[in-house]
Amino acid sequence: MTQSKDDPKGPQDNPKGIKRGLTQYGDAGFSLFLRKAFIKAAGYSDEALDRPIVGITNTGSEFNPCHGNVPQIIEAVKRGVMQGGGMPVVFPTISIAESFAHPTSMYLRNLMSMDTEEMMRAQPVDSVVLIGGCDKTIPAQLMAAASADIPCVVIPTGPMMTGHHKGERLGACTDCRRYWGKFRAGEVDDKEIWEINAKLAPTVGTCMVMGTASTMALTTEAMGMSLSGSAAIPAVHSERLRSSEATGRVAVKLAEQEVKPSTIMTAKAFSNALTVLHAIGGSTNALIHLTAVAARAGITVDLEAFDALGRKVPVLVDLKPSGQFYMEHLHEAGGLNTVLRELKPWLHLDALTVDGRTLGEVIDASEADPTQHVVKTVADPVYPTGGLAVLRGNLAPHGALIKHSSATQALLQHTGRAVVFESLEDLAERIDSPDLDVKADDVLVLKNAGPKGAPGMPEAGYLPIPKKLAMQGVKDMVRISDARMSGTAFGAIVLHVSPESATGGPLGLVKNGDMIKLDTAARRIDLLVDDAELARRKAAWQPPEIMTGMEKQRGYRKLYLQTVTQAEDGCDFDFMMPQKNGQTTPIVR
């Protein structure tokens, strides 16, 4: 065993590796002496500890099948780090799996971002490989990366493979919802629905439709924060492990060259990500997440500019729920590069990526497959405009969102009578009641399901079609809420209404029988009630108990309720956002 050449010499100007961020005992030399004594208990040599240290986040959990391949990814990343001359050190952060988080995974996203940021800051890492996948995890990690500004690279866990049932391909979770709708309508019986249940998610990995996980993996790659091609490789393919190995090598380079997220996650990079969000028919949730990540970097996502972009950039990717294919097919079709090649006129091609090349260089180096048919051309798109539209109106003065590419087109211009549910509990209690006064052309309204109201802004915006209408064959209705919805869902669904009803937003003033007008073409959502009546209702409005009983709250829930922001600010905690730096996401043309 040899003595490390500068151990223990006390503080240095730009400490790296094991000497970074010493624990404070009032004697830096002793701090390093102690740190090395303890890490040697794990068998490390001075030679190993003199290398650049690459932290690797272990976000696996037995409650998180979306991250079920994390142990293999970690091993592959470690190999890559060693090949690059670095020292890999794995550390845990919290793990969030969509359907195992009460009240919602969104409620925990900011906690994961704080956990990840603080562990990155606290531990002696020169760079970090962020292993994320399930919906809220990559957003939380990118938020942390932007705030800590320590060199980082993301490797997604990757999409799961598709299942099959009676000759039909199944995808989580578009088909989870579709078959549950059939079950509710009596088209599928109890035995068959549970057979399907065992086939919907046949491998580990993230949902393989264009849900939030796929959307965030693809937009992260577009932003330059993960390696080219890494978003679409299926979770169980050997190629995912080779991509993980390459990610480890890149992480060493990022450490050596001190390439920080702030040089990658620029306003241009966010603009590229937003362009891709439209073109892939991506999840509505991604707009909230990208807004939150950008805000951590001081950059404002301009909702009007995003909407204007959506009027030009068509949906090109033919994946469910907007289209017909799944992520494994997008991978076979060349992955994100095939989309980027088509989008070149709208992209900032000079934006830098983690492997040191510009996005334009990445696209030019990728190979086109002229036989693929999953990614359409601009001349012959899946949908003529971008997937998402930003709405405003007297019902949503600060904005609302609709995924019009995956909605019944006839409902995008619609005026109907409001059928109001005051809360999630009220919805659960009455939606299937035979006595519910509801018709197919009514507008279902859900209140108190926003960031604070639920709390945690659950994916409840996909209100079920009332059973008695479902039994008559009704498949879609206009539905409005301050909630979110799964990126895997289909319908004429207006989401993220802001300000939310629990904080006094106009959604809280809607009454049964009011007329509501959705005019997607004009980007309007309006309550057709006169201003004087709305003023009377506002004066009589009482906040829900969750907003009045704050003194009864404690811990993370109190912190969350007091500081979570609205959708247009990314639902981050207000105290986590730095001053805006005056930059907004620029549009190329």
Query: Which residues sit at the interface with ligand FES, rule CB under 6 A?
Result: 66, 97-99, 134-135, 206-207, 211, 213
- Minimum distance from CB of 350 to ligand FES (Å)? 32
Across 286-422, where does the E strand assignment appear? 299-300, 388-393, 396-403, 413-421
CB of 371 to ligand FES, least distance (A): 29
As measured in angstroms, the least distance from the Cβ of 136 to ligand FES is 9
Question: Distance between alpha carbon 62 and the CA centroid of its chain, in Å?
Answer: 21
CB closer to ligand FES out of 326 and 573: 326
Are the C-beta atoms of 449 and 483 separated by less than 8 Å? yes
| Alpha-carbon distances, residue 356 vs 51, 108, 228, 442 (angstroms) | 21, 33, 11, 53
State which residue, 97 or 288, has the beta carbon closest to ligand FES.
97
Query: CA angle at residue 253 from 251 to 257, to 5 degrees?
Result: 120
Contact of 506 with 420, CB cutoff 8 Å: no
For tokens 């577009």, name the residue.
222
Structure token digits, residue 565: 């922001």
Strand partners for 399: 498
Helices and strands of the chain, counted as H and E runs? 21, 16
Closest CB to ligand FES among residues 135, 328: 135
DSSP 22: -
Q: Least distance to ligand FES from the beta carbon of 97, Å?
A: 6
Minimal distance, residue 135 CB to ligand FES, in Å: 5
Residue 119 or residue 489: which is nearer to ligand FES going by CB? 489
Neighbours of 186 (CB within 10 A): 10
Least gap, CB of 392 to ligand FES (angstroms):
30
Q: Is the Cβ of residue 135 or residue 482 nearer to ligand FES in the bound state?
A: 135
Q: Which helix (H) or strand (E) holds 319?
A: none
Can you name the residues that pair with 514 across neighbouring β-strands? none
| Nearest distance in Å: CB 115, ligand FES | 18
Q: CB nearer to ligand FES: give 226 or 353.
A: 226
Tokens 């996650």 appear where?
Answer: 265
Residue among 31 and 488 whose Cβ is closer to ligand FES: 488
CB-nearer residue toward ligand FES: 67 or 376: 67
In the complex, minimum distance from the CB of residue 216 to ligand FES, in angstroms, rounded to a whole number:
9
Q: Can you tell me which residue has the tokens 């990559």? A: 138
How many angstroms separate the CA atoms of 373 and 316, rounded?
Answer: 10
